[in-house]
A and B are shown apart, each in its own frame.
Chain A
Amino acid sequence: MLSIKNLAVKLEEEDKQILKGVDLEIEAGKVHAIMGPNGSGKSTLSYVLSGKDGYEVTGGSAALEGADVLEMEPEERAAAGLFLAFQYPVEIPGVGNMTFLRTAVNAQRKARGEEEMSAAEFLKVVRARAKELKIDADMLKRPVNVGFSGGEKKRNEILQMAMLEPKMCILDETDSGLDVDAMKLVAEGVNALRSEGRGFLVITHYQRLLDHIKPDVVHIMADGRIVKTGGPELALEVENNGYAGILSEVA
C-alpha cells in the first residue's frame, strides 16, 4: 500500500536534516504503529507524506500503490487515498464543519471521476457517522474545529476519515488529549474502517491506544530513522521500560 524507501528530509528554511533515511512498508489490511521520543521526526514524516510546505526531500521515495506521492499536490494525494489525522487539527473560522466535509468528499470524488454525493445522501451518511463518534449536530454546524475541545477535534478528525474512506490512514497522536471513553470511540472508529484494502499508520506514545487498535507491526523511530521493528510486544516494552533500553541496544 505505502512504500517508503530511505526517505531523507530537511527543513527548507534551515540546514536541518530531520528524516535521515526512513524505510517503511505498509501492506494493505495491516496496522503499523510508530512510537518514538519527542522530536524524533514522526510528525515530520506524516506531513511530508501529505504534502505540507516547508520540507525538502533530499533522498529516497514514497509510493502509494506504486504512485510517487512526493510528486503530487496535497489534494492529489488525498484523492489518491492518503489521509492524515493531524496531531494538531486546524481551526478554520467562518467555514462550517458540514460545508467543509461535503466540499472535501465531493472534491475527492470529482478528482477520481466519480459522481458527487447529493446533499441528502451526504446528510444521511454524515449524521450516522457522527452519531457513532458521539459528535452532536451542533459540532457539525460550527466552524471547523473552532472552539472544539482537544478531544472533540480528534473525534472530528476521525469523522473526516470515516467520510473520506481513504486507503491509507495516518493517525498522528490521535489518542493524545482523549479521555478514556473518547479513546474507545476513536479506536472503534478506526477498527470499523479496518479492512483488507486499507492500510494504517498509527503514531502514538502510549500502549493504551494499541490495546484497542491492535497493531500488526510496531516501529520505533529515533533521530529520523526507524531503529527497531517488531510485533505488538515492542509497544509493551516501551510502555514498561521507556526508550532508553531500546535505543542503547541499537546504538
Chain B
Amino acid sequence: MAEAALKQSATEARLAGLEMPQGGWSEAARRDALARVTAMGLPERRDEYWKYTRPDTLVQADPVPAALFDRSDEAPLFDSIDRLNIVFVDGVFDAEASDDLALAGVSIERLAEASADIHWARDLYGVLETNGQKPVERPLAALNTAFAPDGVLIHVTGKAEKPVNLTYRHQSETSDAMLHHVIRVDAGAEITVLENGPAAARFNKVMEVDIADTGAFHHVRAQGRDHERRAATHIFARLGAESIFKSFTLTANGVLTRNECILELTGDDAIAHVAGACVGDGDFHHDDTVFITHDAVNCESRQVFKKVLRNGATGVFQGKILVQPGAQKTDGYQISQSLLLDEDSQFLAKPELEIYADDVACSHGSTSGAIDEEALFYLRSRGVPEGPATDLLTLAFLAEAVEEIENEALRDEINARLSGWLERHRS
C-alpha cells in the first residue's frame, strides 16, 4: 500500500512541474498519454523492469545538475559526413545553428510548429509508444508523449539525399529536456538518421519509427561525453514487409543511461538489427533494454551489445525476443557481452526468449570477460606497448557491434571516437 502511495506521490510531484503543450493534432494523444502515465505511475526501484537500474533521478521533479564537458579536444562527430543538421540546445531548437529543413526525398517539420489539425504524424504520435506499453509498461515514454514540447517529424517519401543529423547540445547545467521524434518511411523509401550529443543534464527522448513495406531506416547515434548527464531514451519501431531497421548506439561516459528499444516486426521478411557499444569509466551506469516482437514470417532480428567497463562502471542488458504464434522461420540472434577491465566493474544481463512458433532459430548468449592475457603478451612481444595493445584488443571486442553500422564512413567515425576514448582512459 505504502509503495503504491509513494509511487503516486512521486508521479504527481513530477507531473506538477510540467506543462502540456496545447492545441493542434497532437493534443488528444497527449491527453491520452497523461491519463496513461498517471494510471501507471512513474518507475520506481522496486519495479521488476527497473531491477538493475535505479530510476529515481530520471523521475524526480528536478534534474540533478550536470557539469558541462569540454569536448574541444575532438572535432564534432559526423563532421566528415555530408548531412543535414538540426540542432537542439538543452532541448530547444536552435534555428541559427540548423540547416534549412529541406531535403530531397524527405519532408521535415518541427513538432512544435506542426500545429494544424490534420497531420500525417497524428496516426503515429503516441501510437507506436502505446503499442509498446504491452506487455511491459514504459511510463517514461508515456510521460514524454504527454509533455515533449518539440522534436522532429520526418516523412521519408523517397531515397533521402543525405543523412539527417540531430545534434543535441548541452549548455545549461540544470537543463531538463524532452524531445519526441516521429519518422515515417514510405514504401521503398530510405533514410539515415544520425544523433549525437548529451542533450541536457537530464534528457528524455522518444523516437517513433514506422517503416512501410520495403522501406529502410538506418540510425547511428552517439550520446555525448558529459560525465554527469542522465538520459532515458525509447525507440519504438514498427516494421512492414521486407523493410529494414538498423540502429547503432555509441555511449561513452554519462552517469546514467537507459536506452530502450522496442521493435515490432509486423510484415514478412523484415530485418531488424539493433546494436550498441558502450565504454564507461568510474561513475557510469548504462542500461540497454530491448524488446523485439516477431509477428510475421521469415523475419530476422539481431541484437549485438558490447560494453567495456572499468573503475566500478556498471553495464546492464535486458533483452527479449518474443516470437508470436505463426511467426515461423524467425531468425533471432542476441548477444550481450562485457569486457571488465577490473574487478570493481560489473555487468548484469537478463537475456530472454519467449517462443510460440515451432519453426524458428533463435540464439542468445551473454558473457563477461577480461582482457586475454595470452593475446596481450603476444602483441607486446611484437613491440606493441601495453596501452595500445589493450586498446587494440578492446576495439576487437567491440568490433561485432560497430560492424553493424553499414556505412563505412560512419563506422570509421565511431571507431575513431572509441580509439580516442580508450587512449584517454588507459590505466
Taking Cβ atoms with an 8 Å cutoff, the residues of A that contact B are 50-53, 73-75, 77-79, 83-84, 86, 89-95, 99-100, 103-105, 107-108, 111, 143-144, 160, 164
Contacts and interface: CB of A to CB of B under 8 A. Distances in A.
Which residue, of A53, A77, A93, has the highest number of chain B Cβ atoms within 10 A?
A: A93
B406 to A, nearest CB: 19
A126 B419 CA distance: 25
Nearest to A88: B374
B386 A94 contact: no
Contacts of A90: 374-375, 377-378
Contacts of B25: none
Q: 4 closest pairs, A vs B, by CB? A: A94-B396, A78-B383, A108-B383, A104-B382
A111 B385 CA distance: 9
Which residue, of A74, A83, A89, A144, has the highest number of chain B Cβ atoms within 10 A?
A: A74
B110 interface: no
A160 B396 contact: no
B393 A160 contact: no
A47 B386 CA distance: 17
13 contacts: A52-B381, A53-B373, A75-B384, A78-B380, A78-B383, A92-B379, A94-B393, A100-B379, A104-B379, A105-B383, A108-B383, A111-B385, A164-B383
Interface residues of B, number: 23
A15 to B, nearest CB: 22
A119 to B, nearest CB: 15
A161 to B, nearest CB: 10
B380 A51 contact: yes
Contacts of B282: none
Given A74-B381, A104-B383, 15 more contacts: A52-B381, A74-B377, A75-B383, A75-B386, A92-B372, A92-B375, A93-B396, A94-B396, A94-B400, A95-B393, A100-B382, A107-B382, A107-B383, A107-B385, A108-B382
B124 interface: no
Contact of A73 (B378, B379, B386): B386
Contact of A111 (B383, B392, B393, B397): B383
A74 B380 CA distance: 6
B378 A75 contact: no
Contact of B399 (A73, A91, A94): A94
Contacts of A50: 381
A78 B395 contact: no
B182 to A, nearest CB: 37
B399 A164 contact: no
A144 B382 CA distance: 13
A227 B62 CA distance: 78
A251 to B, nearest CB: 35
A105 B389 CA distance: 13
A95 B381 contact: no
Nearest to A163: B382
Interface in B349-407: 372-375, 377-386, 388-389, 392-393, 395-397, 399-400
Contacts of B383: 75, 78-79, 104-105, 107-108, 111, 164
Interface in B197-232: none
Contacts of A95: 392-393, 396
A103 B384 contact: yes
Nearest to A105: B383
Contacts of A53: 373, 377
A103 B400 CA distance: 21
Given A111-B383, A164-B383, A92 B377 contact: no
Contacts of A78: 380-383
Contacts of B396: 92-95, 143
A108 B384 CA distance: 7
Contacts of A99: 392
Nearest to A95: B396
Contacts of A51: 377, 380-381
A107 B377 contact: no
Contacts of B399: 94
A75 B397 contact: no
Contacts of A94: 393, 395-397, 399-400
A214 to B, nearest CB: 27
Given A78-B381, A94-B399, A103 B392 contact: yes
Given A93-B396, A94-B396, A95-B396, A104 B373 contact: no
A34 to B, nearest CB: 19
Nearest to B378: A90
B377 A104 contact: no
Contact of B388 (A73, A77, A105, A107): A107
Which residue, of A52, A79, A90, A105, has the highest number of chain B Cβ atoms within 10 A?
A: A90
